[in-house]
Amino acid sequence: MQNEHIDNHLMLPIGAGLQMGKYRIDRYLASGGFGNTYVVTNTQFDEQFALKEFFMRGISHRESDQTTVSVSNSDNAQQFTQQRDKFKKEARRLRKLRNEHIVQVHDLFDENGTAYYIMDLIDGEALSARIKRTGKPLDEQEATAILTQVLDALDTVHQQGIWHLDLKPGNIMVDGTGRAVLIDFGASKQMSSGDGMTTTTTAMAYTPGYAPTEQIDQTLELIGPWTDLYALGATLYHLLTTNRPPRVSEVQESGAFTFPTAVSAKMRHLVRWLMQPSRQKRPQSVAEVRTFLSEPFVEPPVVEEDDDTIVEVDVAVTDDTVGKVGLDSHSQASKPVASSSARRWVIAAVVLGVLAGIGLMFTLQKKETPVIIENADGVATASGMYFKSSLGTGAYTGPVNEKNEPNGQGVLNFENGDVYTGKFVNGQLTDDAAEIRFANGERYNGKIDNGHFTYGTYTFTEGDTFVGTFRADNLPDKGTWK
């Protein structure tokens, strides 16, 4: 979805020259909320590089000469200037970082009313693209090889007092030789040498699932190496499983982490350690992680519960269900307790009792063959119903009206992998607090009216965010970029 919203007239023309012909635009690579990336040739040496151009989506536009960048609304001029300065600061930071696993910046200049920097062109693929292309996790040996290289990059970054703050599969490139390269320092922060506080007061962008509490809460004084190491754990989990990393609020829940059987106990332990919600319980430095990897792993002992251990089973029970499973309860909201040896049977009996009580039997269904169930209150609910909306076609699960149209709080899983979660009004996606998760990692949270974004927050894969109003074509209109 990211590149589908970018029109060709917003790009520099192929063949255009920069720096008096020193660089020639060869082809377009990608776009984000704050810039466009191209492949260019240094005509003096006939060498190819990547060129990043500062261009704020929804705020910048291209003049009639197809090269000059200006601001669509004068009210946004100050914001454009501030973000352009941040863009140049990112280039200067990268320039100082000398490591084969960090993308190298070679040039920085102003032209066409905006800023550009030249960096290495990596002949490879982002790990997020690879997972999406193959649909398969990396084996542990390859994941470990990438992990050690990223640790090497982070060591260099942290020694300079810089925190990357957007480590994720999309920001790790792997070339044909297996070399991993850390890219995109747009969210990074530099620590001052005096008081240890960050040198900038701009808000921290972050990617849900890869950001710990201190980053989400924008608590600058609590940011440190452990913040990037949390994201490293989330990245490692995604590479080993292809699963979305659990959010901070979920990591301590039962079943938050699900690993393939081939993943070793040592690697599972490392992921959980890196993703501890408390920053003080995570590794505090790259050195700690390296030490862990180099030493033999002794799995922590599992504390077995004896038959006298009382375990609370979090299942709501009705009076009818209590009768079926033989539990002594008279409250609809009561929770049964069971000994360790019997708790699984109690849970199974409760579930079976509930199903028997309402006379239902569930089977796997194709999306073209929906299951529509009417409960005791006369409310009909669809499961996997094939539905065509203004944003696309997919499988709908949730309440329906008398015409079997989505009507109420539900979920629509689009055929392309996007997911809408929110309210429907007689078949229309209409909600004041909806969420759309796009297959490429981008996300919209906010108000949606008949399938159109009106006011909310759009988070791009790079972690950039736009908060404000949207045009009829769902592009950002007026608001704030972070």
Quote the CA–CA distance of 105 and 157 in Å, as a whole number.
14
Q: Which DSSP string corresponds to 95-112?
A: HH---TTBPPEEEEEEET
Q: Which of 49, 124, 22, 31 is nearest to 442 (CA)?
A: 31
Q: What is the pLDDT at residue 74?
A: 83
| Angle made by CA atoms 222, 253, 317, in degrees to the nearest 5 | 140
Q: Who contacts 249 (Cβ-Cβ below 8 Å, separation ≥6)?
A: none
Radius of gyration for the alpha carbons in the chain, expressed in angstroms and rounded: 26
pLDDT band at 187 (very low <50, low <70, confident <90, very high): confident
State how far the alpha carbon of 472 is from the alpha carbons of 107, 196, 275, 448, 455, in Å.
38, 45, 40, 11, 11
347 has pLDDT over 90: no
Q: What is the pLDDT at residue 151?
A: 98
**Average pLDDT of the chain to the nearest whole number:** 80
324 has pLDDT over 50: no
Q: How many CA atoms lie within 13 A of 466 on its CB side?
A: 26
pLDDT band at 204 (very low <50, low <70, confident <90, very high): low
pLDDT band at 203 (very low <50, low <70, confident <90, very high): low
Q: What is the pLDDT at residue 3?
A: 44
Q: Which DSSP string corresponds to 254-293?
A: TTS----TTS-HHHHHHHHHHT-SSGGGS-SSHHHHHHHH
Name the residue with higher pLDDT: 237 or 89. Answer: 237
* pLDDT, tens only, 135-159: 999 999 999 999 999 999 999 999 9
Indicate the range of 171-185, 284-298, 311-325 predicted with least confidence: 311-325
Q: Which DSSP string corresponds to 212-244?
A: -HHHHTT-GGG-SHHHHHHHHHHHHHHHHH-PP
Q: What is the pLDDT at residue 205?
A: 72
* pLDDT, tens only, 355-389: 333 332 232 233 344 455 655 556 677 777 777 88
Name the residue with higher pLDDT: 243 or 352. Answer: 243
